């Protein structure tokens, strides 16, 4: 709890350096190139147990951005599912009380008959936390990839763009309420936060879990835009899911 309070009030959290922000596209392309080279070796990760995984894309992206990651999880033996809700433009586009997202989770849960693992990139990770908090019976575990769910919303480069497209204003009473809700701990869930100190979109401090579960925060090297094609992210996700699958079947 001490960390949460410090992050809420501490004005020291600042935007990522401009050099990291402007180099995001180049670094993301480089990560995609590395993934192509390392993909065969990544397939040696522990095999999955066949349970369903819902992968939610980041802001202003669609299922296209997570296609390769989902294909990778399929090859490992999981049932990777797209979110099927088009371009992620924020919570308001999900309908009243986020009904579209909740319905999608229930569809997957009812079809498989088992709790679903949630993997979310950036904004998608924040949505994963919402589902885990409100539907614990349907959620197995949560993996966040570069998701700025806490800290300081001012330390996000695209904040103004997000507000313009999503129609959500952080400084409004509704925005503050949502932010406080999204940042609250999920201590009853198996939550892993993958982050990068070279993230050029959001301050990496915004992507860390609470100190009591800080061992589940995993640092990788890479850009924000390239996280869905970063070999370290793939190996981390596979290790997390594989460990959980082994624990369940064991």
Higher pLDDT, 210 or 198: 198
Pull the structure tokens for residue 82. Answer: 């797209």
How many other C-beta atoms can be found within 10 angstroms of the C-beta atom of residue 148?
28
Beginning with the edge strand found earlier in the chain, give each strand of the sheet holding 79-81 in spatial order: 79-81, 52-56, 116-121, 139-145, 191-196, 217-220
Looking at residue 125, its pLDDT comes to 96
Q: What is the pTM of this model?
A: 0.91
Contacts of 18 (CB under 8 A, 6+ apart): none
Whether 1 shows a pLDDT value over 90: the answer reads no
Q: pLDDT digit string (tens) for 200-240? A: 999 999 998 765 454 588 999 999 999 999 999 999 999 99
When pLDDT is cut at 50, 70 and 90, the band that residue 41 belongs to is: very high
Q: Average per-residue pLDDT in the chain?
A: 89
Residue ranges of E strands in 200-246: 217-220
Which residues lie closer than 8 Å to 209 by C-beta, 6 or more apart?
Answer: 185, 191, 192, 193, 216, 217
Q: Is the pLDDT of residue 97 over 60?
A: yes
Q: How far apart are the C-alpha atoms of 19 and 85, rounded to whole Å?
A: 33
What does the pLDDT look like over 150-184, one tens digit per residue?
888 889 999 999 999 999 887 787 777 777 777 77
In this predicted model, which residue has the larger pLDDT, 48 or 190?
48
Supply the pLDDT for residue 99: 97
Torsion of CA 78, 84, 90, 93, to 10 degrees: -150
User: Which pLDDT score is estimated for 7?
Assistant: 36
pLDDT of 245 reads: 58
Q: Check pLDDT > 80 for residue 5.
A: no
Beta-ladder partners of 56: 120
Q: Which residues pair with 57 in a beta bridge?
A: none
Q: Which domains does the chain have, with CATH numbers?
A: 2-10+52-221 (3.40.50.1820)
Q: Facing residues of 81 across strands?
A: 54
Average pLDDT in the 15-32 region?
A: 97
The three-point CA angle 232-233-234 to 5° equals 90
Give residue 112's pLDDT band: very low, low, confident or very high (50, 70, 90): very high
Residue 59, by phi and psi: left (phi above 0), alpha (psi -120 to 50) or beta? Answer: beta
Measured CA to CA, the distance from residue 105 to residue 60 in angstroms comes to 20
Answer for the pair 56, 128: CB distance below 8 angstroms, yes or no.
Answer: yes
pLDDT at 215: 52
Give the angle 218-223-229 at the CA atoms, nearest 5°: 80
Report the relative pairing of strands 139-145 and 79-81 from DSSP bridges. Answer: unpaired
Q: What is the C-alpha separation between 98 and 89, in angstroms, rounded?
A: 12
**Cα distance between residue 106 and residue 98, in whole Å:** 13
């Amino acid at each position: 709890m001490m960390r949460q309070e410090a992050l809420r009030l501490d004005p020291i959290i600042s935007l990522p350096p401009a050099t990291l922000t402007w180099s995001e596209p180049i670094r993301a392309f480089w990560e995609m190139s590395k993934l192509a080279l390392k993909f065969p070796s990544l397939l040696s990760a522990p095999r999955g147990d066949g349970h369903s995984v819902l992968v939610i894309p980041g802001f202003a992206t669609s299922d296209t951005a997570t296609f390769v990651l989902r294909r990778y999880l399929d090859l490992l033996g999981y049932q990777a599912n797209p979110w099927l809700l088009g371009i992620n433009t924020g919570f308001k586009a999900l309908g009243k009380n986020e009904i579209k997202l909740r319905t999608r989770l229930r569809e997957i849960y009812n079809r498989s008959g088992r709790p679903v693992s949630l993997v979310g990139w950036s904004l998608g990770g924040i949505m994963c936390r919402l589902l885990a908090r409100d539907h614990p019976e349907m959620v197995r575990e949560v993996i966040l990839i570069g998701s700025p769910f806490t800290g300081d919303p001012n330390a996000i480069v695209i904040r103004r763009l997000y507000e313009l497209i999503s129609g959500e204003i952080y400084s409004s009473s509704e925005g503050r309420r949502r932010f406080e809700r999204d940042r609250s701990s999920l201590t009853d869930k198996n939550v892993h936060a993958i982050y990068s100190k070279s993230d050029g979109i959001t301050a990496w401090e915004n992507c860390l879990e609470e100190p009591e579960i800080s061992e589940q925060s995993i640092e990788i090297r890479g850009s924000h835009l390239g996280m869905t094609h970063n070999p370290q992210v793939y190996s981390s996700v596979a290790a997390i899911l594989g460990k959980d699958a082994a624990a369940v079947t064991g």
